[in-house]
Amino acid sequence: MAQIVLFENIHPSAREVFTAAGLTDIATYSSALPSAEIFDALRGAELVGIRSRTHLDADLIGRLPALRAVGCFCIGTNQVDVNSAMLRGVPVFNAPFSNTRSVAELVLAEAILLLRRVPEKNNRVHLGHWDKSAAGAFEARGKTLGIVGYGNIGSQLSTLAESLGMRVIYHDVEAKLPLGNARPAGSLQDLLAQSDVVTLHVPGGKATENIINAQALAATKRGAILINASRGTVVDIAALHAAVQSGQIGGAALDVFPTEPKSVDEPLDSPLRGLLNVILTPHIGGSTQESQENIGREVAEKLVRFFQSGTTKGAVNFPELPYQDAGGNRRLLHVHRNLPGALGSLDNLLAEHGLNIVSQRLQTQGEIGYVITDVDGEVSDIVMAALRAHPITVRCDLV
């Protein structure tokens, strides 16, 4: 079985990084695999690369003892049970801003197209109608853009929209630095009531599930446009369907869906198909040549650095230890339960086996601690077996 398994058509730049680092045992898949097939594909894999469609749940992670790290070649990591991965000593990496600009540009384009009613007009011309009316068509200039989630994408979009002359307001659960003339709205309800275009840029997960539901849609300014390029679970699709049909929502653009097709030939199952004032795109917010090449390189580099030196800088679920040159002969990566005396137990065990510590760094986070130890001398299989068998150990690797 391959040491590295990459799903979902990850850009070839990733393979270049792995092979340049001497990691050549790589299996690639052009799409996500059905859950019945994924275990066989991953058996024995040490590094796994996915995008948004491959789900790594607690059960699957638990059945992959060889797995050392996961790379999400995207921003979102909600498709991985990152807590279970952490508890098994598996760091998860992502590319936190390599596709930010691509998403912001698509959203801005969709806002303009929907304000001008282009999706319906495009369809009418294709059908032979030359309907040159200005009814319901507006400039973006002077309109209010409401951004829900003022993180990397939301704030990037904020500056682009202001350069078009839009008034920008935002709602975030954390205090955020307003860029340019953007201002925080008093609440989500307040944002919805004021905005001509509402766009969602929050993470997926339980806390954001259906935050745009029937009640939120009813509180939205009548005829406003809704754009969702975050995660499909953020919008209640049945409620949106009803709001579009009643005219409460004047147009919508959705790039993400509660359940997304796993491959090219699987159709999207959604009541929104066929509505002409709704733009549906196949989760391509971050899919540009520029972003995919950068993401391929960035995440592969993080995986290689972890695999070869143990650094967890940038991991989303793990104590972060930055890169440091190896000081000794061998380097031990030890993940343990975060209990008093854990480091002492590890060091005693090394001393019992005559290993001198050249340098050692510890970081803890929640339930686990992570120690990188450079030692003089060879680390025998006996020492590794003793380390792995110790009651505090979650996992231990030698690099």
Ligand X SMILES: O=C(O)CCC(=O)C(=O)O
Ligand Y SMILES: NC(=O)C1=CN([C@@H]2O[C@H](COP(=O)(O)OP(=O)(O)OC[C@H]3O[C@@H](n4cnc5c(N)ncnc54)[C@H](O)[C@@H]3O)[C@@H](O)[C@H]2O)C=CC1
CA distances from 179 to 109, 145, 155, 227, 258 (A): 20, 14, 7, 21, 31
Return d(Cα 94, Cα 146) in angstroms, integer: 27
Instruction: Answer yes or no: 283 catalytic.
Output: yes
From the list 72-80, 85-93, 140-148, 182-190, the region that binds ligand X by CB under 6 A is: 72-80
CA-nearest of 43, 67, 72 to 394 is 67
For the chain, the farthest-separated pair of C-alpha atoms sits apart, in whole angstroms, at 86
Q: Interface with ligand Y includes 255 (CB under 6 A)?
A: yes
Return d(Cα 114, Cα 250) in angstroms, integer: 8
The answer to whether residues 82 and 57 touch, using CB atoms and an 8 Å cutoff, is no
Alpha helices in the chain (DSSP H): 12-20, 35-42, 58-62, 82-87, 100-115, 118-126, 152-163, 188-194, 214-219, 237-246, 289-309, 342-352, 381-389
Return d(Cα 148, Cα 198) in angstroms, integer: 7
Instruction: Answer yes or no: 266 catalytic.
Output: no
Nearer Cβ to ligand Y, position 106 or 383? 106
Strand partners, 237: none
51 contacts which partner out of ligand X, ligand Y, none, CB within 5 to 8 A by kind? ligand X
Return d(Cα 163, Cα 150) in angstroms, integer: 17
Question: Nearest approach, Cβ of 218 to ligand Y (angstroms)?
Answer: 18
Q: Interface with ligand X includes 99 (CB under 6 A)?
A: yes
DSSP at 395 = E
Q: Interface with ligand Y includes 51 (CB under 6 A)?
A: no
Q: Interface with ligand X includes 76 (CB under 6 A)?
A: yes
Residue 62 sits at φ, ψ, to 5 deg, of -65, -25
From the list 68-76, 301-309, 366-374, 379-387, the region that binds ligand X by CB under 6 A is: 68-76
The token pair that represents 236 in the structure block = 């209640």
From the list 69-77, 82-90, 296-304, 321-329, the region that binds ligand X by CB under 6 A is: 69-77
* 46-65 binders of ligand X (CB under 6 A): 51-52
208 contacts which partner out of ligand X, ligand Y, none, CB within 5 to 8 A by kind? ligand Y
Question: Nearest approach, Cβ of 241 to ligand Y (angstroms)?
Answer: 20
Residue 91 sits at φ, ψ, to 5 deg, of -75, 150
Q: Interface with ligand Y includes 154 (CB under 6 A)?
A: yes
Q: Interface with ligand X includes 89 (CB under 6 A)?
A: no
Return d(Cα 383, Cα 330) in angstroms, integer: 13
The answer to whether residues 168 and 196 touch, using CB atoms and an 8 Å cutoff, is no
Return d(Cα 182, Cα 166) in angstroms, integer: 10
Which is the catalytic residue, given 260, 320, 353, 390?
A: 260
Contacts with 251 (C-beta within 8 Å, 6 or more apart), sequence order: 114, 117, 119, 225, 226, 244, 277, 278, 279
Q: Interface with ligand Y includes 151 (CB under 6 A)?
A: yes
From the list 6-14, 149-157, 338-346, 360-368, the region that binds ligand Y by CB under 6 A is: 149-157
298 contacts which partner out of ligand Y, ligand X, none, CB within 5 to 8 A by kind? none
127 contacts which partner out of ligand Y, ligand X, none, CB within 5 to 8 A by kind? none
Q: End-to-end CA distance of the chain: give it in Å, rounded.
A: 20
Question: Nearest approach, Cβ of 103 to ligand Y (angstroms)?
Answer: 5
* 201-230 binders of ligand Y (CB under 6 A): 201-204, 207-208, 211, 229-230
Instruction: Answer yes or no: 11 catalytic.
Output: no
From the list 71-79, 109-117, 232-240, 327-335, the region that binds ligand X by CB under 6 A is: 71-79
Nearer Cβ to ligand X, position 69 or 387? 69
Which is the catalytic residue, given 88, 101, 201, 231?
A: 231
Active site residues: 231, 260, 283
Chain contacts with ligand Y (rule: CB under 6 A): 75-76, 99-100, 103, 148-154, 171-174, 201-204, 207-208, 211, 229-231, 255-256, 283, 285-286
Question: Which residues here bind ligand X, judged by CB under 6 A?
Answer: 51-52, 74-76, 99, 286-287
